[in-house]
Amino acid sequence: MSRRPGLIARFFGLVSGTLTSWLKRREEQNPAAVYEQAISERVVQYRELKEAVAGILFMRNKLEADLEERRAELSRTHEDIRRAVKRGDDEVGVALISHKQVLIGDIQRAEKEFEGLRAQADEAKGNLVRFREEIRALEREKGRIVATLANAHARRRMVEALEGMAVDADMRALESVREHVARIQTEGALEQELGDDHGLEARIKEIRKEADQDAARQELEALKRQLRPTPLPASTPKPETVETQAVPVAAN
């Protein structure tokens, strides 16, 4: 009787190991499905987190509006207290002062709660953004992995075709290669749609190349000015002396 549990455990262990090994091989053969499953799970988690963040933001906005109303009520209460004092109505003045004190306490508590909710909302929004970026990173990684695997399969089929496959088999391999190449091109277009920044990098390289060309032109102009012969200073003509003649003064 003591051996039966051990045999049963070993049997279930064998079955579990066999299924795990089979599942691992299937996942390796179809990585796109594995990535898709991981992305789908994270999308569901992202939606749940988004709803939670929306609830926090709603409470924050509601509390902020409530604070504004209480502050406005406190301002009106101050004005009412001054009017009651001017009228000499002490009973109303005391009631208004008590109401003012209650309002001040409520506002202080609400402000503390609002600060906590605001910090919590900022943290939740940051987590939401990071989670969204993780999903986008997985989508980009999926595109790269699928394209790399397709390229590897295509290369292997090309090698097999070159090693002596039949003509029909060679043609099938070539058609498969074309299909994989087209799929890789599609994946490249998908990466661009998901936010690939190769175009931005190309424009930056173009700007830097233009700056290098401008610097080269400036250096060439400087060398030309250095090698250009310096012109001799022109001789200035001597000023001609003008003989002044005495003008006779007429006698009166």
Is 202 a member of any domain?
no
Mean pLDDT of the chain: 75
Rounded CA separation 162/160 (Å)? 5
Is 44 a member of any domain?
yes
Is 215 a member of any domain?
no
pTM: 0.42
Is 47 a member of any domain?
yes
pLDDT tens-digit map of 97-145: 898 899 899 899 988 888 888 888 888 888 888 888 888 888 888 888 7
Total number of domains in the chain: 1
Is 251 a member of any domain?
no
Is 118 a member of any domain?
yes
What is the band of 245 on the pLDDT scale with cuts at 50, 70, 90? Answer: very low
Is 243 a member of any domain?
no
For 76-90, 120-134, 149-163, 188-202, which range has the lowest pLDDT when averaged over its residues? 188-202
Residue 39: is its pLDDT beyond 80?
Answer: yes
Mean pLDDT for 46-69 is 88
Highest mean pLDDT among 72-86, 180-194, 220-234: 72-86
pLDDT tens-digit map of 194-225: 555 556 667 778 888 888 888 888 888 888 88
Question: Which tokens go with 144?
Answer: 């790269």
Rounded CA separation 91/57 (Å)? 42
Is 179 a member of any domain?
yes
pLDDT higher at 227 or 69: 69
Residue 252: is its pLDDT beyond 50?
Answer: no
Give me the domain span that covers residue 191.
31-196
